Structure 1
Amino acid sequence: MLVESDYLPLADQFFSMYREPGQGGAALAVYQDGEPVVDIWAGWADRDKRWNRNSVAMAFSTGKGVASTVLHRIAERGLIDYDLPVATYWPEFAQAGKADITVRDVLTHRAGLHRAKGLVPGSAGILDYDRVIAALEACPADPRRLRTSGYHAITFGWLVAEIVHRVTGTPFIDVLRTEIADVLGEDEFWYVVPEGRRDRIAKIFPHINPPGIKWGIASSVISLVRPVRGLAEAGMPEGFDKLVRDPRVHESVMPGWNGVFSARALAKMYGALANNGEVDGRTLLKPETIEQIGTRQVAGHYDYVLGYPVSFTLGYHRPVLMAKSQPHKAFGHYGMGGSGAYADPETGMSLAFVTNRLGGSLTALGDLRLARLGATARAITTRQDQ
């Protein structure tokens, strides 16, 4: 474990969260100015197994930020123009009136393809990457995309992955390995988890469906309530509550939600983005690229899926901290259940938190653990700069 002395209050806060098996386990990592300053873990990876240095967790939408970073590596070399239509690289995407949707639209959740529910038949249908891609090609876009964003809770990852695949001619997970894992010297960036590493994945709990209510019923009811209808369409496909625990998830490319990471790997990636693209003598992206991808693209309008305003950048969002002052240039991605990671170029800090305990006592969808840890870390970093 690693804890630089200034970050002892952050470590104390983290360890206090994981004293009982029912609290599950987690890992927390922080980089400052391109150097690791925190790398700690605590709690339980399963009922009879402690979390250890090698434990990893499925971090849900946290993976959207990793997938976006892959695309930006390709774009930086001039192979992708954010403002060209997706169909420039993926001709079949132009079907059903989608010829004018740009790469920027995809990265800012304005492609109008948020619907995962009913996209392909059967609860296991979304495990078939090629089938999903064909379905997205045939789908018309939601016209609300012309007014505001509609969070692509599950479909985002497939859209980004297929753009990368079409541009490079290489399967997305292979590009991920060469563009992120190999560059950073960190192996734990997985959508398809190597078979020999799957025993390292912490078991997630509790069930994500509302207590006492079956998933299908909950999804159907929410689909009928106009203000939250988009949540059911975007994030509640058939059988998803059971699918998140299905081992087949770790054999499928679904970068919108099935990424498995260590906090250490995520913090290093975002550590580079917080430090002008450099970490451990390695270059991930150029400073001008980081400035571009961290600039707010969508803000002030209610997202038609989430029902509240979201500040999207190019493939990321602004982190939210339990503090009066929010970071104005930070960007990253949080995931369902509480995991997340981000870079804060203003302070040179990155933070990553992965956990197998989904949410808190009220809901499994999320809680305030990361927001509180982030506030403490920012306070420490801000004091250092004074």
Structure 2
Amino acid sequence: MSQVQGHLDPRFESLRPLFQSFLDSGEELGASIAVNLNGENVVDVWGGYADTARTRPWEKDTIANVWSTGKTIIGLIGLILASQKKLDLDESVSTYWPEFAANGKQSVKVRHVMSHTSGVCGWDTPVTIQELCEDFEGAAAKLAAQAPWWEPGTASGYHSLTMGFLVGKLVRCITGTTMKDFLASQVAGPLGADFQFGAKEEDWHRVSDVVPPPPPPPQPATSTDTAQGEEAQKSISMRTLVNPMVGATNANTEMWRRAELGAANGHGNARSVARLLSLVTLGGKDPASGREFLSREIIDRIFEQQCYGTDLVVKQKIRFGIGFGLTGADTEVHWLPRGRVCFWGGWGGSIGVMDLDRGITFAYVMNKMDNVGLGNQRTKAYVKAIYDALEKAS
């Protein structure tokens, strides 16, 4: 039986039996949890297995595909470039990427792209997973050529896969390098954070395969199913989510690991996610080196609400700031606290949370997926345990 490994500050010791109980029950296969409080790593634990056969222990340096939790790192990169005055959040995307002005997109701002409100949440023309993995420039060019699917800035439509190509292309235009390389050389490298878009071949031995979620229960058919099905095929949600149709096991392929999808193929563990995101929580400076990555002015802009309502793609009530989701009592993440809190999560349950009011950065990365996008039941239990412990200690 696998035991929880790593460090827990005594104030957060209650997290250990909770994590262990999920490992013992099999609800958790392998995972890592990290909490940074006011610059101190008070939780850094891991446990379980990196494979379904339970032959490979989940170790300190095990990494896994985090799906859309990688969007928090994309948001961070955009904000770092804004802090460096290389990217203006209120400027048109086409200022940096001229081809993007085609078909009525000249008014799309950088902040629209970073808040899922650009109207470019999917591809007009059919694309394959292989094309997205192997031809970044071609996939980005298709997005540049098409018209927005709604008036930019008026609603959110989750940029499930396009986020990585839209921000990734901006990074290429501005810096002359890929987002993958920019992350490695300018952010993760200097911070010593074990996070990357894709996964280098020399790291594959320590990558945990993801375990697909169970299929959703079948729904009873009705007489209106055919008509509704035809209408759904035309919907923004369906056009986004089925072109291409991504399966969980795609993340376990060499092609996926070699690609720069960004929005879906970031690889790391909780320690590395928390290390990176703590820049936001701690006011933009790395405590270890004193280097400033984010200006306080740009951090404040995260909390400028860009959209608050039912998302056109995921059909859930979500509140977006610039670069991250924001909390709200009537949103899908009502289980996160109010205040200056920003976050995002990945398919299956992984998440990164930055709570500036309380000085907490929380990250959770696992390999056993559930059919959820913003936190599974284990995610919510870990979050509750952490905040309960903090309240008890205060």
Q: What TM-score do the two structures reach when normalised by structure 2? A: 0.87
- Secondary structure of 1:45 counterpart: coil
Query: Match for 2:320: what amino acid?
Result: F
CA contact (8 A) 2:349 2:376 kept: yes
For residue 302 of structure 1, report the CA deviation from its aligned partner: 1.8
- Cross-structure match for 1:33: 38
**How far apart in 1 are the matches of 2:169 and 2:230?**
32
From 365, 376, 380, the equivalent of 2:385 is 376
Show structure 2 runs of 5+ residues with no match: 1-5, 220-225
Per mean C-alpha deviation after superposition, the further-off stretch among 272-281 and 149-158 is 272-281
Q: Deviations over 1:18-67 (max 9, x none)?
A: 12556311000000001101000111110221111111110100011101
Counterpart pick for 1:11 among 12, 16, 25 = 16
Q: What secondary structure sits across from 2:326 in the alignment?
A: coil
Match of 1:318 in 2: 326
* Greater mean alpha carbon deviation, residues 340-349 or residues 231-240: 231-240
CA contact (8 A) 2:65 2:267 kept: yes
Separation of aligned partners in 1, 2:333 and 2:148 = 33
Q: Distance in 1 between matches of 2:276 and 2:153?
A: 33
Which residue is 1:108 aligned to?
115
Could you tell me which residue of structure 2 aligns to residue 206 of structure 1? 212
Cα pair 1:228 1:305 within 8 Å, conserved: no
Q: Give 1:327 shift.
A: 2.8
Q: Name the counterpart of 1:24.
A: 29
CA RMSD of aligned residues (A): 2.5
Moved more, 266-275 or 73-82: 266-275
1:308 offset after TM fit, Å?
2.6
2:341 aligned partner: 330
- What do residues 101-123 of structure 1 show as CA deviations (whole Å, max 9, x unaligned)? 1101101111111125x644334
The correspondence for 1:160, drawn from 140, 160, 167, is 167
Amino acid at match of 2:21: S
Unmatched segments (≥5 aa) in structure 1: 214-219
Give the partner amino acid of 2:295: K
Instruction: Please report how far the alpha carbon of residue 75 of structure 1 lies from its aligned counterpart in structure 2 after TM superposition.
Output: 0.9
State which of 356, 359, 362 in structure 2 corresponds to 1:345: 356
The question of whether the paired residues in 2 share the 8 Å contact of 1:277 and 1:286 is answered with: yes
Instruction: State yes or no: 1:305 paired with 2:313.
Output: yes
- Whether the 8 Å contact between 2:64 and 2:269 is mirrored in structure 1 is yes
Alignment of 1:37-76 (within 5 A): 37-46=42-51, 47=53, 48-76=55-83
Equivalent residue for 2:3?
Answer: none
**What is the TM-score normalised by the length of structure 1?**
0.89
Task: Encode CA deviations 1:174-193: one digit per residue, 9 max, x unaligned.
Answer: 1111232123122x221131
What SS does the corresponding residue of 1:255 show, helix, strand or coil? coil
8 Å CA contact 1:120–1:132 kept in 2: the answer is no
Query: How far has the Cα of 1:291 moved from its partner?
Result: 1.7
- Residue identity in the other structure for 1:138: A
Aligned pairs for 1:285-304 (under 5 A) are 285-299=294-308, 301-304=309-312
Q: Is the 8 A contact 2:213 2:348 kept in 1?
A: no
Q: CA deviation at 1:223?
A: 6.1
Distance 1:193 1:45, change over 3 A: same
Pick the aligned partner of 1:141 from 148, 161, 176. 148
Q: 1:85 and 1:243, CA in 2 relative to 1: closer, same or farther beyond 3 A?
A: same
Deviations 1:269-319 (A, max 9, x none): 2222212223433333222321222333222x2211122321111111135
Q: How far does residue 92 in structure 1 lie from its aligned partner after superposition?
A: 0.8
Q: Distance in 1 between matches of 2:227 and 2:214?
A: 16
Q: Which residue of 2 aligns with 1:232?
A: 238
State the distance in 1 between where 2:195 and 2:241 align. Answer: 23
Partner of 1:77: 84
Aligned residues: 372
| Distance (whole Å) between structure 2 residues aligned to residue 364 and residue 288 of structure 1 | 33
